[in-house]
Amino acid sequence: MTWALVVEIISWILIISGSAFTIIGAIGSLRFPDFWSRLHAASVTESAGMILLIAGMCVHAGLSLVTVKLILIGAFIFLTGPTSTHAVANAALVSGERPESDEEDKKKKGKQVR
């Protein structure tokens, strides 16, 4: 069990699980019933999938300029991903899309929040 083998296995695990999370996010964005729930599926791809894939590539690359660039990409997506998700959601809300609330359907109140 050498050090190189340990690093290889760690980056394998990170990259394969990251790929799994991106596929799960994509499946979610196909399966979910309405626009508001699809936002959540897209954020699975953007958080878990992205972080795990970038971390896996960092571990594989070792300590070099490549790692710096990867961390920069990761930090940029980490900051802008939620910002653009919020922008899409806010634009949809302003344009008059209103999400249906399962919670209130259950309580039979029929009062919409906002």
Partner 1 sequence: MLRKIITALVFFALWLLMSGIYKPMIVWLGAASSILAVFVTDRMNRASVRGHMTIKIKPFASVGYWLWLMVEIAKANWAVTKLILTPEMKLNRHMITVPNSQVTDLGATIFANSITLTPGTITVEVEPGVFIVHALDYSSSDMDAMADMDRRVTAIESGVE
Partner 2 sequence: MFIAAAIALFISMMLVLARLYAGPTLYDRVLAVNSFGTLTVLFIAILGFLNGRPDFLDIAILYALINFVGTIAILKFFRYRSLGDISQMPPDEGDTL
- Report the interface residues with partner 1, using CB under 8 A: 21, 24-25, 27-28, 31-34, 36-37, 39-41, 43-44, 47-48, 51, 65, 68-69, 72, 78-79, 81-83, 85-86, 89-90, 93, 99-104, 113-114
Place of tokens 């960092």: 58
Place of tokens 């300590």: 63
Contacts to partner 2 from residues 21-50, by CB under 8 A: 22-23, 25-27, 29-30, 35, 38-39, 42, 45-46, 49-50
26: nearest Cα among 91, 93, 97, 18? 18
37: nearest Cα among 101, 106, 108, 107? 101
Q: For partner 2, which residue of 94, 103, 110, 113 counts as binding (CB under 8 A)?
A: 94
Q: Check: CB of residue 18 under 8 Å from CB of residue 52.
A: yes
Farthest CA pair distance, the chain: 63
Contacts to partner 2 from residues 44-83, by CB under 8 A: 45-46, 49-50, 53-54, 56-57, 60-61, 65-66, 69-70, 72-73, 76-77, 80-81, 83
The 3-class SS string of 45-91 reads HHHHHHHHHHHHHHHHHCCCHHHHHHHHHHHHHHHHHHHHHHHHHHH
Site residues (vs partner 2, CB under 8 A) = 11-12, 15-16, 18-20, 22-23, 25-27, 29-30, 35, 38-39, 42, 45-46, 49-50, 53-54, 56-57, 60-61, 65-66, 69-70, 72-73, 76-77, 80-81, 83-85, 87-88, 90-92, 94-95, 97
